[in-house]
Structure 1
């Protein structure tokens, strides 16, 4: 993940899921995360499920707060190498566009 900033977005757990909310965070800023580590619990209309990290890296920012209800693809967190400064992360967040 050399010098990259990576978006962690609201996942889509089912065909009919349109939005979800973070019901708990399992990572703290600065923690090294491996692929498959549980980073959050995501609550939908039907279920609450653990969200496993799709990438490895350093957790730099939790963007969504517990209880925030967001559409699929919304930015909920940021992983970036330790060399990336906070201003770059702030800029990334400000410019993020959901897919």
Structure 2
């Protein structure tokens, strides 16, 4: 899910039987600028360890899962947004987010 100025980071389904994953290592701190394709976070699944890359450029505004957290496929675990997007707008985006 993306607005024009906010990009949701959600856990992709990397395998047919994949149900969830574990955040193993964050590579980017909140507030850091990222470019599309930058490695953001490592996620472990039952079968693989994979690196999630930024789907858009901007600022990593929120990390919604900590290292060690188990999250479901489709779950929101972070937010990339343009630097001038207000915290209240990000809060509304998170509240309105509907995972599949």
When the two structures are superposed, what TM-score results if normalisation uses the length of structure 1? 0.89
Task: Could you list the structure 1 runs, at least 4 aligned residues long, displaced by more than 2 angstroms after superposition.
Answer: none
Give the CA deviation at 1:43: 0.7
Give the CA deviation at 1:46: 1.3
When the two structures are superposed, what TM-score results if normalisation uses the length of structure 2? 0.88
Deviations 1:56-92 (A, max 9, x none): 2211010111111111110010011111111211121
Tell me, in whole angstroms, the C-alpha distance in 2 between the residues paired with 1:27 and 1:60: 10
Tell me, in whole angstroms, the C-alpha distance in 2 between the residues paired with 1:49 and 1:68: 15
Secondary structure of the corresponding residue to residue 41 of structure 2: strand
Tell me, in whole angstroms, the C-alpha distance in 1 between the residues paired with 2:7 and 2:53: 15
Aligned residues: 99
Which ranges in structure 1 are unaligned for 5 or more consecutive residues? none
Secondary structure of the corresponding residue to residue 95 of structure 2: helix
Secondary structure of the corresponding residue to residue 24 of structure 1: strand
